[in-house]
Amino acid sequence: MPTTVPTLPGPTGAGTAVGVDTHCPYCALQCAMHLSPGPGRELTVHARDFPTNRGGLCQKGWTAAELLTTPDRLTTPLMRASRDAPLEPVSWDVAMRRVAVEMGRIQRTHGRDAVAVFGGGGLTNEKAYTLGKFARVALRTKNIDYNGRFCMSSAAAASTRAFGVDRGLPFPIEDVAAADAVLLVGGNSAETMPPFVRHLEGAGRSLVVVDPRATETAKKARLHLQPTPGTDLALALGMLHVALVDGLVDDAYVAARTSGWEDVARTAATWWPERVERTTGVPVGDLRQAVHLLAEARTAVVLTGRGAEQHSNGTDTVTGFINLALALGLPGRPGSGYGCLTGQGNGQGGREHGQKADQLPGYRSIEDPAARAHVASVWGVEPESLPGKGVSAYELLDSLGRDDGPKALLLAGSNPLVSAPNARSVAERIAALDFLVVSDFVLSETGALADVVLPTTQWAEEDGTMTNLEGRVLLRRKARPAPPGVRSDLEILAELARHLGSPVELEVRPRAVFDELRRASAGGPADYSGITYERIALEGGVFWPCRDKHDPGTRRMFLDSFATPDGLARFVTVEHRAPVEQRDDEHPHYLTTGRVLHHYQSGAQTRRVPALVAAAPEAFVELSYALAESLGISAGELVRVTSRRGSAVAPARLSDDIRDDTVFMPFHWAGRGRVNSVTSDALDPVSRMPEFKVCAVRVERAGLTADDASG
């Protein structure tokens, strides 16, 4: 059923008379919806039939319009006169002058890199592109990264070194539904992106799910492999061993379309199934069955999610499953392939166009002289004026306020006090800053620490494009005007650039920004130059790369060759290694983290929607009945989970769906239930992805009341 919420007073916006077709503000599935006026001044959400969601929405999508009128919506800038003073409403002129003066002072005193920028995977392509341009042209700082580094960076790194380019799904989502077999590693789509489950059910004859928990997704599978947390790579090596020994390798494909097989085969030969069972806990019979289901299917797809990627060996783990897919001859074969389930709404486009520390628009390397020259020419600056490569998201957060680190931070579309690993340490680093400015639509936990908070437009109050998990560029349309006093991120960045003496003006019109993005991306791996707003509207989205107006876009990549110099996919030799943090007598259990159906990311949005809060009001600790009995813990009792970094407290939820050596907590909550107070900040050496998915913990009765735990 549709949901309705009152609209805010104001002039009629574009399209409000009859409503607009647009897309959901949450995950990378980017479900299609229609927003229309309801009775009086209400806004109504309807699902649209679209390849990704097939006319369905999850509860987050149905209630998305409620975000527009949340009671604590910010409609005026806030500023504190001193570090100990409260945030108070001020005019835009006062707020913007303060931001420019402080940033200018800090850069004059400490150098250009003393001001950092941190973005978000939910920003539109236009805003992500402008944020990267602002950092490199107006601030001329190398210190920019974004929370997408916490999302699919390991899969991106693995795909790039195997295929030469990274696009979440290098094929349309319909291929998943049509596949005879699907292997899903570390993804719980039934809760993270429910409409996607329809595609998995289409392939459900041979759906294989790898997860240490018997999730709602795993319960839909033909076969569930339940490994010990942190052992997914050993499982991948064992599956490749079975393919090799049982004669399931597609030798003709390997010879014609790949390189590096011999070394990978030698490593896989050492991971016999019995060794894999001892390491992972997955029975030999299940291991063999999974490989045969994939290999003997007419078409098959291998998918990875955060459960495979958020490890200190995440890049190698994804590589292990890519190696398996290559050995079976799947990538580049119509109806088959390897793909990554992107999490955040614009996790794909957000890094393609300049938020990531090492990338310029078009997925170009910032260290490539030709790339720098091309982008500089579009921006109207000299290539040598562009800064070099910065550090990754967690490393940037960890450097804040240190002697050699940034002294000021501009934060847009992210809430790292809840979402970053080792969050207690991150909170200390943010508190050590000389100056923090946050651009957001509500006062998040991180925003509450800011010196200046700038209120921004929301998803249905502005036009812009998003790139979904398939690499399909979509158009979000403005359905209503923003509340009086609210500005778009594009307007904020353009005005700040003027105050800071930027050598070029920043564009504030989304369509004009996108046209500039097209020119900046032209010739790059993620080439958008042939995509226009008109084409997106007419065609229902356009797949990149799309190199000119005659290019239909690339629905399926790698059909003829891979994006490597010789056109061959690369097998990459990888070896299993244990998680950085091991269990011991003091911390004898594993902790793993994830999402729940009714919430999204740090919860800054969904924790403000009454229906979602009612359905999932607080964090919890999921543990098995056997573990609970051994610890004397009852259902609903408050439990403390403690690692070497900190602890979190939440009610116990007893289940048959989790291993006896493992506990699970969702990561959407702040306060005592903030699981990222506990998680590890160990980083993957390639992707710099933190190891969210496994650390060693102690689990015990908290000895607190419910009121104590909410503090």
pLDDT digits (tens, 9 = 90+) for 524-559: 999 999 999 999 999 999 999 999 999 999 999 999
Helix (H) or strand (E) holding 163: helix 153-163
pLDDT bin (cut points 50, 70, 90) of residue 204 is: low
pLDDT at 152 (0 to 100): 85
524 in a domain, yes or no? Answer: no
Give the domain CATH number at 393: 3.40.50.740
Domain termination site, one of 341, 366, 396? 341
Residue 608 and residue 148: Cα distance in Å, rounded?
23
Residue 34, classified by CB atoms within 10 Å of its CB into exposed (0-12), middle (13-18) or buried (19+), is middle
Residue 350 and residue 466: Cα distance in Å, rounded?
9
Same domain assignment for residues 231 and 365: no
Same domain assignment for residues 643 and 608: yes
Query: Under DSSP, is residue 159 helix (H, G, I), strand (E, B) or coil?
Result: helix
DSSP state at residue 658:
B
Percent of the chain clearing pLDDT 70 (strictly above): 95
Same domain assignment for residues 337 and 221: yes
Same domain assignment for residues 22 and 94: no
38's CB contacts (< 8 A; 6+ apart) are 4, 44
pLDDT at 706 (0 to 100): 44
Q: Is the pLDDT of residue 709 over 50?
A: no
534 in a domain, yes or no? Answer: no
Percent of the chain clearing pLDDT 90 (strictly above): 90
Query: Under DSSP, is residue 314 helix (H, G, I), strand (E, B) or coil?
Result: helix
Same domain assignment for residues 331 and 390: no
Same domain assignment for residues 241 and 297: yes
Write the Ramachandran bin of 319: left for phi over 0, alpha for psi from -120 to 50, otherwise beta. Answer: alpha
Give the domain CATH number at 185: 3.40.228.10
Q: Measuring CA to CA, which residue among 379, 382, 383, 400 is closest to residue 391?
A: 400
Give the domain CATH number at 25: 2.20.25.90
Residue 38 and residue 35: Cα distance in Å, rounded?
9
pLDDT bin (cut points 50, 70, 90) of residue 710 is: very low
pLDDT at 41 (0 to 100): 52
Same domain assignment for residues 237 and 263: yes
Number of domains in the chain: 4
pLDDT bin (cut points 50, 70, 90) of residue 205 is: confident
- As a whole number, mean pLDDT of residues 216-230 equals 95
Residue 44 and residue 65: Cα distance in Å, rounded?
8
Residue 321 and residue 240: Cα distance in Å, rounded?
8
DSSP strand pairing (4-6 vs 42-47) = antiparallel
Q: Is the pLDDT of residue 461 over 90?
A: yes
pLDDT bin (cut points 50, 70, 90) of residue 708 is: very low
pLDDT bin (cut points 50, 70, 90) of residue 39 is: low
Residue 570 and residue 578: Cα distance in Å, rounded?
24
Domain termination site, one of 508, 533, 565? 508
Query: Under DSSP, is residue 418 helix (H, G, I), strand (E, B) or coil?
Result: helix
Q: Which domain holds residue 106?
A: 78-149+346-508
pLDDT per residue over 415-452, tens digit each?
Answer: 999 999 999 999 999 999 999 999 999 999 999 999 99
Same domain assignment for residues 128 and 17: no
pLDDT per residue over 472-511, tens digit each?
Answer: 999 999 998 899 999 999 999 999 999 999 999 999 999 9
Q: Provide the 10 A C-beta neighbour count for residue 362.
A: 27
Same domain assignment for residues 354 and 500: yes
pLDDT at 10 (0 to 100): 30
Output 705 or 278, whichever has higher pLDDT.
278
77's CB contacts (< 8 A; 6+ apart) are 89, 90, 91, 92, 94, 95, 452, 453, 454, 455
pLDDT at 181 (0 to 100): 96
- As a whole number, mean pLDDT of residues 308-316 equals 95
Quickly tell me which residue has 């939910």 as its tokens.
Answer: 122
pLDDT bin (cut points 50, 70, 90) of residue 3 is: very low
pLDDT per residue over 675-697, tens digit each?
Answer: 999 999 999 999 999 999 999 99
pLDDT at 168 (0 to 100): 93
520 in a domain, yes or no? Answer: no
pLDDT at 536 (0 to 100): 97
Q: At 463, list the tokens.
A: 């036009």
Q: Measuring CA to CA, which residue among 545, 707, 701 is closest to residue 630?
A: 701
- As a whole number, mean pLDDT of residues 121-131 equals 96
pLDDT at 132 (0 to 100): 97
pLDDT bin (cut points 50, 70, 90) of residue 295 is: very high
Residue 188 and residue 659: Cα distance in Å, rounded?
16
What's the mean pLDDT when you consider all of the chain? 93
Residue 302 and residue 314: Cα distance in Å, rounded?
16
Residue 89 and residue 230: Cα distance in Å, rounded?
47
Contact 303, 183 (CB under 8 A): yes
pLDDT bin (cut points 50, 70, 90) of residue 83 is: confident
514 in a domain, yes or no? Answer: no
Same domain assignment for residues 595 and 664: yes
Contact 615, 59 (CB under 8 A): yes
- As a whole number, mean pLDDT of residues 183-190 equals 95
529 in a domain, yes or no? Answer: no
pLDDT bin (cut points 50, 70, 90) of residue 350 is: confident
Length of the chain: 711
215's CB contacts (< 8 A; 6+ apart) are 188, 190, 191, 209, 657
Burial readout 217-242 (b: 16 or more C-beta within 10 A, e: otherwise): bbebbbbbbbbbbbbbbbbbbbbbbb
Same domain assignment for residues 188 and 284: yes
Q: Measuring CA to CA, which residue among 394, 393, 354, 374 is closest to residue 124?
A: 354
* pTM (two decimals): 0.94
Backbone angles phi, psi at 340, to 5 degrees: -110, 135
263 in a domain, yes or no? Answer: yes
Contact 696, 578 (CB under 8 A): no
In degrees, rounded to 5, the angle at the alpha carbon of residue 131 between the alpha carbons of residues 129 and 137 is 95
Packing angle, helices 273-280 and 232-245, rounded to 10: 160
Give the domain CATH number at 630: 2.40.40.20
Question: Side-chain half-sphere of 197: how many Cα atoms within 13 Å?
Answer: 19
Residue 415 and residue 196: Cα distance in Å, rounded?
26
Q: Is the pLDDT of residue 14 over 60?
A: no
564 in a domain, yes or no? Answer: no
Same domain assignment for residues 370 and 268: no
Domain termination site, one of 490, 508, 526? 508
Q: What is the dihedral of CA 483, 487, 490, 494, to 10 degrees?
A: 160
pLDDT at 537 (0 to 100): 95
Q: Measuring CA to CA, which residue among 146, 421, 444 is closest to residue 310?
A: 421
Contact 471, 340 (CB under 8 A): no
Q: Give the CA distances from residue 86 to residues 401, 435, 446, 450, 451, in Å, rounded to whole numbers and listed in that order.
A: 21, 15, 15, 10, 9
pLDDT at 678 (0 to 100): 97
pLDDT at 16 (0 to 100): 39
- As a whole number, mean pLDDT of residues 560-568 equals 97
193 in a domain, yes or no? Answer: yes
pLDDT bin (cut points 50, 70, 90) of residue 43 is: confident
| First-last CA distance in the chain | 36
pLDDT per residue over 657-677, tens digit each?
Answer: 999 999 999 999 999 999 999
Residue 555, classified by CB atoms within 10 Å of its CB into exposed (0-12), middle (13-18) or buried (19+), is middle
Contact 283, 163 (CB under 8 A): no
Contact 95, 454 (CB under 8 A): yes
